[in-house]
Structure 1
Amino acid sequence: MDDQHFYMIRGGVEGRERLRMVARVMRPGTLALIERAGVGAGLRCLDVGSGGGEVTFDLAAAVGPTGSVVGIDVDPVKVELAAADAEAAGVGNVEFRVADLVDGLGEAEYDVVYARFVLWTLSDPTSALRDMVRALRPGGRLFVEDIDFAASLCSPTSADFQRSVEVFLETARRMGVDANFGRRVPETVLAAGLVDVQTNIVQPGGLEGEAKVLHPLSFENIKAMVVHHDVATADEVDRIVDALYDLARDPTTYMLCPRIVQAYGDKR
């Protein structure tokens, strides 16, 4: 795996619970996007960066038994776990593969290509998106969701919350990736030559629930990279994590996840 595909947030078995929470929090917005984007029976889909397979399974339900979905991820542990889940659930129209964005996409093979929270983790997201477009057949549809991390919110304001956002963004910068890439999604999709582009924004949050817990959990899972890149000490990260969990438990504190920019468009 080259630097372009080195992920900032802990993966494997250790990161699986965070991914499951992400999937639960984001699912309503993603399901609405799948419906708006017109994913329907008989289509052949590719889920890029499929992780635990949660969206892969939702795509599989949308395309039905006459359609199919391939989920690809660079993490072999995630792929193995997702494949086991598919077998246990008896989902027969999905396939999971270990692959990256250079070798795993193919050309003109799919009716739909989807990626959630993938492009921001790459050093060259524009090139990766062009690869995704090449994987579409003419008339196929690409749709993506990605984060604008700086738009995360905590009210009343909290110095610890603000510091966590600063640390996250700086760690991403030192790793050569842009955690605010979501705000660039529309222009990047247009630059890739897609037409009939549609956009939307979702931002889960509230006074209670898993959307609040997701921020401290995600920050906890970047500790190794934060320390490795000398953005903060392990002790500071631990202190901030504790403070963030306290904020998540406080029913008077309102928190919003990073803004999520959604876009889809068609290949000529």
Structure 2
Amino acid sequence: MQERTSSVDSYALQRAPAETQRLQVQAQMLKPVTQRLFEQAGIGPGMRVLELGSGAGDVALLLAERVGPQGEVIGVEIDADIIETARKRVREAGFTNVSFVNADIANLPLEGEFDAIVGRLIFIHLPSPASTLHRLSMMVRPGGIVAFQEYDMAHFTTTAVHPPNTLAGQMFTWIGEAFRRVGLPLRMGLELYQVFLDAGLPAPQMLGEAMIITGTDPIGCRLGAETTRSLLPLILKFGLATAEDVEIDTLAERLRQEAVNQGLVMRGPDVISAWTRLPNE
């Protein structure tokens, strides 16, 4: 796998309130598959877990419930604004076993061992995923868990919509092409296998699950539209569409209406899970 040379904070989507909202909508879609990853990986009560790229705190909230009051979750997030949202949500949920560190994961000011290190949709934004994972896995105790999830978006511009639909097809093309133009790997999910090996970890177990969106699923239509909103500056910059083409403020509703009227089935990005355990010394 070829490592990228961009800066560590190479986040392609906007760091703005609208992006914070999009992350929470996305989290609703991903919650079941992330819960399955944690269950299969063996994350449970009493564990001390390090989470990379906490965003608005959704994964940390799932972990907090899973490790229980005797466990601990430490989330790392580079965006100072969104981490305040995460802290507020944790307080409102009543969890006392979660804390967040506002830091670049390239220079973590943390000490001690963790029972697990996890992350969701973080490696796609890092210039050197394998090098980062190798370094951070040193913080995991022998026999500990490494578990990550990433998207595989290779089908976006070809088979994402059935039957074919112009609006939905355009939206998926805008999203996929915007990521491609900034050099982010559309197949990061499938690259997880090599990332683990290059990091010096045992070969991971892997599972792929498709995100299926229909007209009866307003969250899915909203997520597509909000992802387009966050990528809109790139879509306009690269000339993929005009603001008039996108009509961002009505995109979610137009997409939902067409999905209902035409019985559309839309395949969002596949979610690829990978997990392994470090050898016992």
The verdict on a shared fold, with TM-score over 0.5 as the criterion, is yes
Matches within 5 A, 1:183-262: 183-195=190-202, 197-207=204-214, 208-209=216-217, 210-238=219-247, 242=250, 245-249=253-257, 250-251=259-260, 252-262=263-273
Q: Secondary structure at the match of 1:222?
A: helix
Over residues 191-218 of structure 1, what are the superposed CA-to-partner deviations in whole Å (9 max), with x where a residue is unaligned?
3222262110112223221123321221
Report whether the alignment pairs 1:83 with 2:87: yes
Q: Secondary structure at the match of 2:145?
A: strand
- The alignment covers a number of residue pairs equal to 266
Selected match of 2:57 from 29, 53, 60: 53
Structure 1 residues 180, 108: CA separation in 2 closer, same or farther (over 3 Å shift)? farther
TM-score of the superposition, structure 2-length normalised?
Answer: 0.85
Q: Secondary structure at the match of 1:195?
A: coil
Tell me, which stretches of 5 or more residues in structure 1 are unaligned? none
1:154 match: 161
- Of residues 81-90 and 129-138 in structure 1, the stretch that sits farther from structure 2 once superposed is 129-138
- Of residues 46-55 and 224-233 in structure 1, the stretch that sits farther from structure 2 once superposed is 224-233
| RMSD, aligned α-carbons | 2.3
2:3 match: none
2:278 match: 267
2:17 match: 13
Aligned-residue identity in percent? 27
Structure 1 residues 136, 173: CA separation in 2 closer, same or farther (over 3 Å shift)? same
In the alignment, the residues of structure 2 paired with residue 176 and residue 127 of structure 1 have an alpha-carbon distance, to the nearest angstrom, of 18
In the alignment, the residues of structure 1 paired with residue 251 and residue 83 of structure 2 have an alpha-carbon distance, to the nearest angstrom, of 33
CA contact 1:70–1:95 (8 Å) conserved in 2: yes
TM-score of the superposition, structure 1-length normalised?
Answer: 0.89
Structure 1 residues 107, 87: CA separation in 2 closer, same or farther (over 3 Å shift)? closer
Cα deviation, residue 227, structure 1: 2.4
Structure 1 residues 212, 122: CA separation in 2 closer, same or farther (over 3 Å shift)? same
Q: Which amino acid aligns with 2:247?
A: D
Structure 1 residues 84, 41: CA separation in 2 closer, same or farther (over 3 Å shift)? same
In the alignment, the residues of structure 2 paired with residue 43 and residue 196 of structure 1 have an alpha-carbon distance, to the nearest angstrom, of 23
Q: Which amino acid aligns with 2:77?
A: D
Structure 1 residues 236, 85: CA separation in 2 closer, same or farther (over 3 Å shift)? same
